[in-house]
């Protein structure tokens, strides 16, 4: 009874919406309950022109999408789903998208977007208003929790969901999508109703074609056809369509955004490629920051007929200011510009990589030498801080070694090895942060808690090496966090630097923001507060002023509590390159700086010990107390 009421309410809502406006799309999602029973899973597609309706069905082994809803698309295929990461036994979420104005049908399953029908020029009538029809009976295997636009239709498991369609005038539907009547600058409606389409006769002198004027009185796209196209087209007319509804063209890109305008240039029944003179397409767009890259791309449907493939092959990108991008392409198809949503390629990537490799190698050797020195100091009965120094040295040394090898391991081992190397690299980094915090806190304890013994050594070990393992273990268990990462260089964005680290998935970005930057923030703020308190306590002591230990301690702790790790957060503005080089030097040479700090402090301790021997007994006693505190810190 409750389900029938839900269906009635949903039908009323759909009918009330349809009374005033037509549906611009259909969005149907569900969970496919399957059980391969030893056989592989498959997708069955059977589509043809018409407007009889759409059926989405599922059973133990197959998911079927059948119907007559398209304007021009015909398809009858069986697609194995073994490469989509779907297990034979279990459940898989999926969604079906239908856009009548683009005559396009998509299926999202297994983390991939499959285009069942590519964008085409629909006829005068579009098949829309796909209302939910009768359900099939419940079954053990099938579609569970079917939803239309997020509204639950049925919570049970059914073998099929059926939809009935109606023809609607495409021009009226396009006006509805554009929020009103067609723009007065729009030229004749030919083919696709939501795109300006022109048929151009090629001439020896070439042609210049522009899209309708934008709000600023400037055409959004300008196309210059070269004279060489006259010979290649064989006298046939060139068809140019300016698309602005590009939801289909985005198709699954998470870190890239397709420009608002997409241009289609074709010659009917003829494939044009390898032109002697390129077609020049000028895109006018909003201001794109210098930190975000732009790439001219063309759409190739031949490489994988089920997936959208935006390729840079055959197109050259010319950036003429922040608001204009010229694309020089030697073939005809769909063209647009891909914008980087994240900060674009890194400038001077080769130099930064060389500095990082050199610094990590020097830091690793320095940490090995310093570890041997600290192991000898641990044998002294009055040495209490050697274990903390040793823990920091080991973690920084491991971090330097892994960072030095990450590029080689990424290229040799690939994504499989990078899952483990990325997790180890993250663990080493968190261990370094933990021991930096312990160093600062221990110094604060020795200065302020004079009469209280510091915590036992195993407490520091547990915090330094055990605590960082918890978040790494959780992230590794979640999956798709660690893996192959690519850093693009501005000089050659198509040949990025490969390394093992966090992936570019949304979960990885969230983990990086929540864990890494929050740890660095807490480390810097708490370290700065403790450093100020330590400085306020020791700045009045004459012995520290004379020996310069105060300055060396402040300098050393400023490196320890992570100041260098904050610099990458400041890479914006005109000083970006300088900050990147500074951060690269400080972080990669951190092991060397640690060794230099401890060696200088040992040298200062020996100098101060010599001066103590020549002083009075009372003064020598005071200085000896200061040296012991200095040695502990």
pLDDT-based confidence at residue 627 (cuts at 50, 70, 90): very low
How many other CB atoms are there within 10 angstroms of residue 248's CB atom? Answer: 23
Q: Is the pLDDT of residue 288 over 60?
A: yes
197 pLDDT higher than 70: no
| pLDDT value, residue 616 | 40
Q: Region 564-571: what's the mean pLDDT?
A: 72
Partners of 206 in the β-ladder: none
pLDDT classification of 40: cutoffs 50, 70, 90:
confident
Lowest mean pLDDT: which of 97-106, 251-260, 414-423?
251-260
Grade residue 8 by pLDDT with cuts at 50, 70 and 90.
very low
Between CA 391 and CA 435 the distance in angstroms is 7
pTM value is 0.55
Q: What is the pLDDT of residue 304?
A: 58
Cβ neighbors of 423 (< 8 A, separation 6 or more) are 472, 475, 476, 482
- What is the largest distance, in Å, between two alpha-carbon atoms of the chain? 107
Domain regions of the chain by residue span: 2-172, 189-340, 349-632
Q: Which helix (H) or strand (E) holds 53?
A: strand 53-58
Structure tokens at 138: 């419940």
**Whole-angstrom Cα distance, residue 623 to residue 19?**
91
Structure tokens at 226: 């070269």
d(CA 177, CA 170) in angstroms, rounded, equals 10
Calculate what percentage of the chain has a pLDDT beyond 90. Answer: 21
Between 171 and 454, whose confidence is greater?
171
Under CATH, which architecture does the 189-340 domain have? Answer: Sandwich (2.60)
65 — pLDDT class (breaks 50, 70, 90): very high
For residue 263, pLDDT over 50 is answered with yes
pLDDT at 137: 79
- In this predicted structure, the answer to whether residue 617 has a pLDDT above a threshold of 60 is no
Judged by average pLDDT, the poorest of 14-18, 181-185, 484-488 is 181-185
pLDDT single digits (tens) 297-329: 888 755 555 666 788 888 999 887 778 899 999
pLDDT at 13: 44
Top pLDDT among 517 and 181 is at 517
Whether residue 113 is predicted with pLDDT greater than 90 in this model: the reply is no
Q: What average pLDDT score do residues 333-361 get?
A: 84
Task: Give the pLDDT confidence score for residue 193 in this predicted structure.
Answer: 53
Q: CA 142 to CA 583: how far, in whole Å?
A: 55
pLDDT computed for residue 564 by the predictor = 75
Q: Which whole-number Å values give the CA distances from 152 to 5, 7, 92, 155, 630, in the listed order?
A: 12, 9, 17, 7, 68
Q: Helix %, strand %, coil % for the chain, to 5?
A: 40, 30, 30
Asked if residue 424 has pLDDT above 50, the reply is yes
Highest mean pLDDT among 145-149, 526-530, 552-556: 145-149
Taking the C-alpha atoms of residue 34 and residue 144, their distance in angstroms, rounded to an integer, is 10
- With 50 as the cut, is the pLDDT of residue 62 above it? yes
Q: How far apart are CA 364 and CA 565, in angstroms?
A: 18
Least trusted range by pLDDT, from 131-135, 145-149, 490-494, 623-627: 623-627
Predicted confidence at residue 625, as pLDDT, reads 43
Average pLDDT over residues 445-468: 80
Report which listed range, 79-93, 141-155, 226-240, 371-385, is most confident. Answer: 141-155
Residue 386 pLDDT > 90:
no
DSSP state, 343?
-
Which pLDDT does position 451 carry in this prediction?
A: 57
Topology, domain 349-632: Rhopdopsin 7-helix transmembrane proteins (1.20.1070)
Identify the pLDDT of residue 132: 81
Per-residue tokens: 610: 């010599």
| Closest residue by Cα to residue 53 from 128, 157, 160, 145 | 128
The pLDDT of residue 621 is 39
Q: What is the pLDDT of residues 126-172, one digit of tens each?
A: 888 888 877 777 888 899 999 988 888 887 889 999 998 888 888 78
Per DSSP, the residues of 367-406 read HHHHHHHHHHHTTSTT--SHHHHHHHHHHHHHHHHHHHHH
Reference 344, options 422, 256, 285; nearest CA is: 256
d(CA 399, CA 378): 23
Q: Worst-scoring range by mean pLDDT, 232-236, 262-266, 467-471? A: 232-236
pLDDT band with cut points at 50, 70 and 90 for residue 104:
confident
Q: What is the mean pLDDT of the chain?
A: 78
């Amino acid at each position: 009874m409750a389900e029938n009421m839900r269906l009635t309410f949903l039908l009323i809502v759909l009918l009330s919406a349809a009374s005033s406006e037509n549906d611009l799309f259909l969005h149907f999602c569900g969970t496919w309950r399957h059980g391969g029973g030893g056989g592989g899973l498959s997708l069955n597609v059977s589509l043809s022109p018409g407007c009889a309706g759409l059926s989405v069905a599922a059973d133990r082994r197959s998911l079927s999408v059948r119907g007559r809803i398209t304007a021009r698309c015909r398809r009858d295929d069986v697609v194995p789903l073994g490469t989509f990461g779907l297990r034979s036994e279990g459940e898989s979420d999926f969604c079906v998208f239908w856009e009548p104005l683009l005559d396009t049908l998509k299926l999202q399953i297994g983390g991939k977007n499959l285009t069942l029908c590519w964008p085409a020029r629909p006829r005068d009538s579009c098949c829309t208003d796909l209302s939910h029809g009768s359900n099939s009976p419940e079954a053990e295997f099938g579609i569970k929790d079917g939803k239309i636009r997020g509204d639950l239709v049925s919570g049970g498991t059914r073998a099929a969901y059926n939809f009935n369609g109606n023809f609607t005038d495409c021009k009226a539907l396009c006006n509805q999508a554009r929020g009103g009547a067609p723009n007065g600058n729009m030229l004749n409606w030919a083919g696709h109703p939501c795109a300006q389409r022109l048929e151009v006769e090629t001439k020896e002198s070439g042609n210049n074609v522009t899209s309708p004027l934008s709000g600023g009185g400037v055409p959004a796209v300008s196309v210059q056809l070269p004279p060489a196209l006259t010979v290649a087209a064989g006298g046939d007319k060139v068809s140019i369509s300016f698309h602005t509804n590009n939801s289909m063209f985005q198709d699954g890109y998470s870190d890239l955004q397709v420009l608002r305008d997409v241009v289609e240039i074709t010659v009917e029944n003829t494939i044009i490629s390898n032109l002697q003179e390129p077609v020049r397409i000028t895109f006018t767009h909003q201001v794109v920051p210098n930190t975000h890259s732009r790439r001219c791309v063309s759409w190739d449907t031949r490489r994988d007929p089920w997936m959208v493939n935006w390729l840079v092959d055959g197109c050259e990108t010319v950036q003429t200011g922040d608001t204009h991008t010229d694309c020089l392409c030697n073939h005809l198809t769909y063209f647009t510009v891909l914008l980087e949503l994240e900060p674009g390629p890194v400038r001077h990537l080769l130099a930064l990589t060389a500095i990082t490799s050199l610094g990590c190698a020097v830091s690793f050797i320095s940490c090995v030498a310093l570890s041997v020195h600290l192991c000898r100091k641990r044998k002294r009965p009055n040495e209490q801080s050697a274990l903390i120094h040793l823990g920091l040295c080991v973690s920084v040394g491991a971090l330097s070694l892994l960072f030095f090898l990450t590029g080689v391991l990424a290229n040799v081992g690939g994504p499989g090895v990078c899952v483990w190397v990325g997790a180890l690299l993250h663990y080493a980094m968190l261990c370094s942060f933990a021991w930096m915090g312990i160093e600062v806190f221990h110094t604060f304890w020795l200065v302020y808690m004079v009469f209280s013994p510091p915590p036992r050594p195993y407490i520091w070990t547990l915090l330094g090496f055990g605590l960082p393992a918890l978040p790494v273990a959780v992230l590794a268990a979640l999956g798709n966090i660690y893996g192959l990462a690519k850093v693009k260089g501005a000089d050659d964005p198509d040949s990025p630097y490969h390394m093992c680290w966090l992936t570019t998935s949304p979960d990885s970005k969230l983990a990086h923001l929540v864990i890494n930057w929050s740890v660095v923030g807490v480390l810097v703020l708490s370290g700065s507060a403790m450093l100020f308190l330590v400085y306020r306590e020791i700045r009045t002591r004459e012995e520290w002023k004379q020996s310069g230990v105060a300055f060396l301690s402040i300098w050393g702790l400023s490196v320890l509590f992570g100041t260098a790790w904050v610099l990458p957060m400041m890479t914006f503005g005109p000083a970006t390159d300088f900050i990147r080089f500074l951060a690269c030097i400080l972080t990669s040479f951190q092991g060397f700086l640690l060794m230099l700090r401890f060696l200088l402090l040992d040298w200062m301790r020996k100098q101060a010990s010599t001066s103590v021997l020549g002083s009075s007994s009372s003064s020598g006693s005071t200085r000896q107390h200061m040296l012991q505190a200095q040695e502990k810190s």
